[in-house]
Amino acid sequence: MNFKKKILLGVGLLLLVVMVGVPAFLMFKGISQFGSAKEELNRSVTQLRSFYKKNPFPKKENIDKENKNLDEMQKWFGKLVDVVTAGQVEQVEATPTRFTTKYNDMRNRVLALANPVRGAKMLDKDNALGFSKYAEGALPVAVDVPRLMQQMMITERLATVLIESKVKKINKIMREEFDSVSSMGASPQKAVSSSRRSSRRRGGASVSKKSTNSIKTHRKTDIYEVQSFSLEFSAKEYIALDVLNRFSRDDLFVVITGVEFIKAAKDLKMPGSDDDKVSKNDETDAVVVEKINSEPPIRQQRRVSGPAFDMPMTVRVDLDVYTFFVHKVKALKTASD
């Protein structure tokens, strides 16, 4: 009897411990978590209060340092503006007749520079350098003259680079033809006849119709404008590379947008053939090219070097000329002061 009572008493005590101990443990755990959350919250509040009490303005030492950095950046910005605008060509106000006079003077200067001696053929006399309609005596519209003057002066600079590089021949200089001819210019009959003569010229004046060239349209932003030109000339490879290098270091802000090489001869030819023995004084370039292309070499005989292989090729260079509005660029510097 006593044994059964002890068992029942033990079971009852165990149940009592379970009923009291488990809730007490859970309550203690909850209170501990609440205490941890309260401590974290108090730390956050303390940190926020410290931020709120801080001085929002930088220290004088930091202000002086940033002002010094700003002055240094403005100096570099000023130097950059001076570099990119040093050699640029601005638009010039002029009358239509004044433009025609200036254009003829420019054309004569370029011809004299390209053909310093009689018989030189770097530039044909009938090459209008992109201004074919005005070479025939037409007058531009007055509102187009400032930009035409700018294009004309840029064209002279570009042609001078080709001449100084000693290209073999200047075929074309093309520009974006935005302008229209004044009704006071050449008569319709003269314009028609001159266009027919121009179409018969071999490698003469540049293309005058917009649909026949790939010149980009004029682009203008708040601080600069871009005008596109295309040059086509004949030269050997090292001369063409020299032209590109000269443009890269020219005072004009020139960006090359495309280069195309059209070779007269095949890239591969036979060694030991008559091509190596041909003297430039003996036969013309056309004869040499015909010999190179007449017999295609076999695989074992292909070669890409030799005097006869380095023939003049037709090169087309598309480029953009940037003109910066100096007063607007400098206004950006003033606004940052």
Instruction: Say how far apart CA 295 and CA 271 lie, in whole Å.
Output: 12
Which tops the pLDDT comparison, 308 or 98?
98
Cite the beta strand spans of 80-182 per DSSP E.
Answer: 169-175
111 pLDDT band (50/70/90 cuts)? very high
- As a whole number, mean pLDDT of residues 303-310 equals 59
Position 59 pLDDT exceeds 70: yes
Instruction: Say how far apart CA 182 and CA 262 lie, in whole Å.
Output: 38
195 pLDDT band (50/70/90 cuts)? very low
How far does the chain reach from its first CA to its final CA, in angstroms?
A: 104
pLDDT > 70 in the chain, percent: 72
How much is the pLDDT for 335?
Answer: 55
Q: Mapped to the 3 state alphabet, what secondary structure does 223-286 carry?
A: CEEEEEEEEEEEECHHHHHHHHHHHHCCCCEEEEEEEEEECCCCCCECCCCHHHHCCCCCCCHH
Instruction: Say how far apart CA 295 and CA 278 lie, in whole Å.
Output: 16
Global pTM value: 0.62
Position 197 pLDDT exceeds 60: no
How much is the pLDDT for 330?
Answer: 64
151 pLDDT band (50/70/90 cuts)? very high
What tens digit of pLDDT does each residue of 89-105 get?
888 899 999 999 999 99
Q: Which residues pair with 226 in a beta bridge?
A: 219, 322
Q: Could you tell me if 333 and 77 are in contact, meaning their C-beta atoms sit under 8 angstroms apart? A: yes
Q: At what angle do helices 145-164 and 237-248 cross, to 10 degrees?
A: 130
Instruction: Say how far apart CA 66 and CA 11 lie, in whole Å.
Output: 80
Position 210 pLDDT exceeds 80: no
Position 193 pLDDT exceeds 50: no
The full DSSP string for 154-204 is: HHHHHHHHHHHTT-SEEEEEEE-----B-TTSS-HHHHHHHHHHHHH-SS-
Question: Using alpha carbons only, what angle is made at residue 215 by residues 213 and 219, rounded to the nearest 5 degrees?
Answer: 155
| 157: number of Cβ within 10 Å | 16
How much is the pLDDT for 6?
Answer: 73
What tens digit of pLDDT does each residue of 160-172 get?
999 999 999 999 9
Position 205 pLDDT exceeds 50: no
Position 309 pLDDT exceeds 80: no
What tens digit of pLDDT does each residue of 39-52 get?
888 889 888 888 88
Domain boundaries defined on the chain = 83-264+312-336
Question: Using alpha carbons only, what angle is made at residue 107 by residues 326 and 231, rounded to the nearest 5 degrees?
Answer: 70
Element containing residue 86 per DSSP (H, E): none
Mean pLDDT of the chain, nearest integer: 77
How much is the pLDDT for 251?
Answer: 87
